[in-house]
Amino acid sequence: MKRDLLTLADVTPEEIQHMLTLALDLKQRHKRGESTPLLAGKALALLFSKPSLRTRASFEVGMAQLGGMSSYFEDADIVLGIREPLKDLGRVLSRYYDGIVIRTFAHASVIELAQAATVPVINGLTDSYHPCQILAALQTLHEHFGDLKGRRITYVGDGNNVAHSWLLGAAQMGLTLTLACPPAYQPDATVLRQAQAIAATTGAVLSVVEDPKHGVRGTDAIYTDVWTSMGQEDQATVRQAVLRPYQINAALLAEAPPHAVVMHCLPAHRGEEITDEVLESERALVFDEAENRLHAQKALLVFTMVGL
């Protein structure tokens, strides 16, 4: 059976845990200099309508470390959905490649491509979801705390694609997640309902609050993202004004327990959603998380492409 990862609702809690365990193993083996040619002879297509540093680099390096190869196509190469229908693109690439990663704007485009493709399709980011980022975040928390059981996460800021994937990821893994967002920038109600339905089966506790100080009290990790995502540049001034009270700074961090860590998916707009002081502090796991994009995605590639 073809396995896609368009959102974290596409896998079970057991499958997520399996990928996290595999990611930790692959990371340790890489650090020891061991070869892991689990995808020898496999090829991956990277279709990117949105520019990227971490997503592109981690998938390209990941495929190389697993013994496979990758091809990168930017928007000028494919003009997604315009030069040719997505259903044609999916069928053609399935004849050449063993998997496809797509990073684009509309989530509907990812769904359409996956429906046409006969090889696994992975969502590298859309305006609605960013599942790969949350797999890396979960791996980072597992490494730092020793496990995920009973962890409390607080997401502060814009209820965007990262917040949506946190809702689904926390729900699947039975975590306690609080989203602290202003009224105008809360997560999509449909995504929240879907996550709450999953949470009812796993014991996860999900909530949305307006007060960031209330949100971080008792938490294990504070997570944030940029206030203005790609394609929202014309909203930047308004967003900065509304979201200013949601900045991760020393004062907000002081409201959290001393053991609480800080995370960010990068790139960071220092001085906006997070201060330089906090980002450079010993409590920040930001660059550990960035490193783990590589290993979490290697585990995802192995899971989807060869079923291990």
Say if CB 152 and CB 176 are below 8 A apart: yes
Phi, psi of 221 (to 5 degrees): -150, 135
* Best CA proximity match to 125, nearest among 223, 231, 6: 6
Angle at CA 68, nearest 5°, toward 64 and 69?
75
* Best CA proximity match to 204, nearest among 188, 192, 189, 186: 192
The residues carrying an active-site annotation are 103, 130, 133, 225, 265, 293
- Kindly state the tokens that stand for 114: 């996956």
- DSSP three-state, residue 89: helix
CB atoms inside a 10 Å sphere around CB 88: 11
Relative orientation angle of helices 13-31 and 286-306, to the nearest 10 degrees: 110
- Kindly state the tokens that stand for 115: 């429906």
- DSSP three-state, residue 69: strand
- Distance, in Å, from the CA atom of 185 to the CA atom of 291, rounded to the nearest integer, reads 29
- Kindly state the tokens that stand for 145: 């705390």
> Residue 111 is which amino acid?
I
- Distance, in Å, from the CA atom of 28 to the CA atom of 20, rounded to the nearest integer, reads 12
- Distance, in Å, from the CA atom of 186 to the CA atom of 208, rounded to the nearest integer, reads 8
Angle at CA 254, nearest 5°, toward 213 and 168?
50
